[in-house]
A and B are shown apart, each in its own frame.
Chain A
Amino acid sequence: MLWKDKYELGVPVIDAQHKELFKRVESFLQILRSGDSWDEKVPKINETLEFMKKYVVEHFRDEEEYQRNINYPRYEAHKQIHDSMVNYVQDVSKQYEQSNNNEYLMQQFGGKLLAWLINHVAAEDQLIADYAIKKGMRDNDR
């Protein structure tokens, strides 16, 4: 299982979204790495990719709103990381469409997404929780 309890921030809305994101990425990776032929995988891959494009934006928006609410001092830097990832997902998705569902691109995307997501939630997002705890705001989220 991709999700680990140590990733929890203690902010119910954000934690629920993180769990959903991990669940979707896990399912995406299982399809991506299954023994089926690429043609068989493509419909599921495309469906998950479309979901993630929307969900990532929605989640980042909610997380950024939470950061603004608690006056998180690293908000701008964190938003830049989010914006950069959204741009990357959109670029890959566009290239993937233009390449007529090229497998190499998706495998490359899957590897980066896996490492990026784990680091982002385990390291960057934990800094938000550390700040909220320090300020005594974690339980009064949103």
Chain B
Amino acid sequence: MIDKLYRAFVNATHNVFNLMLSITEISDHPTEDFKCDDEVDIAVGIVGDLYGEVIYRFPVSTSLNMVNIMSGMQFNTVDVFVISAVSEIANIISGNVLTALSDSNVKCDILPPVQCKPYEDKEYEMKTSCCISTTIGDICLVIKLNRAS
């Protein structure tokens, strides 16, 4: 299951970046490859057959590049507009994953994205993470889920 989730999130990120940002070159690596000093962290809660959250760690430069491409405008600093736009992208990726999982009869919903800090808070039955590299920068995804009893 954990491998299926990992692959589902990588594929969904690939599709969303391709469709929304016209970025096709994407690869996934171990999280140790993710180096970032300043980032925008977005949590998307998941409820249903699986529950927990997915943390999207967007480096500031990746966040700005994403919004610059979408808007065709120049954003130089992270503000509420940028946070809102990248939160929506995290929301879209998560929504696509859950749609893909529903084909395997795993029924879940997502909660509205919120800005967070990637704290290590508690144990999860399923936990995995990856660094996704793109031509506009890296992203780190941390997937933390339990199975509903």
Count chain A residues whose beta carbon lies closer than 8 angstroms to a beta carbon of B: 21
- Interface SS of A by simple majority: helix
Binding site for B on A (CB under 8 A): 1-2, 26, 29-30, 32-33, 104, 107-112, 114-116, 118-119, 122-123
Residues from chain A with a CB closer than 8 A to the CB of B88 are 111-112, 114-116, 119
**Total inter-chain residue pairs, C-beta < 8 Å:** 66
Shortest A134–chain B CB gap in Å is 19
- What are the interface flags for B70-85 relative to A under an 8 Å C-beta threshold, 1 for contact and 0 otherwise? 1111000001111111
One of A33, A107, A108, A123 near B73 (C-beta < 8 A): A33
Residues from chain A with a CB closer than 8 A to the CB of B84 are 107-112, 115
Shortest A123–chain B CB gap in Å is 5
CB <8 Å contact, A114 and B85: yes
CB <8 Å contact, B20 and A111: no
9 interchain residue pairs of minimum CB distance: A111-B84, A111-B85, A115-B88, A111-B81, A107-B81, A108-B84, A107-B80, A122-B19, A115-B85
One of A104, A108, A114 near B70 (C-beta < 8 A): A114
Residues from chain A with a CB closer than 8 A to the CB of B89 are 115, 119
The answer to whether the Cβ of B87 comes within 8 Å of any Cβ in the partner chain is yes
One of A108, A122, A123 near B80 (C-beta < 8 A): A108
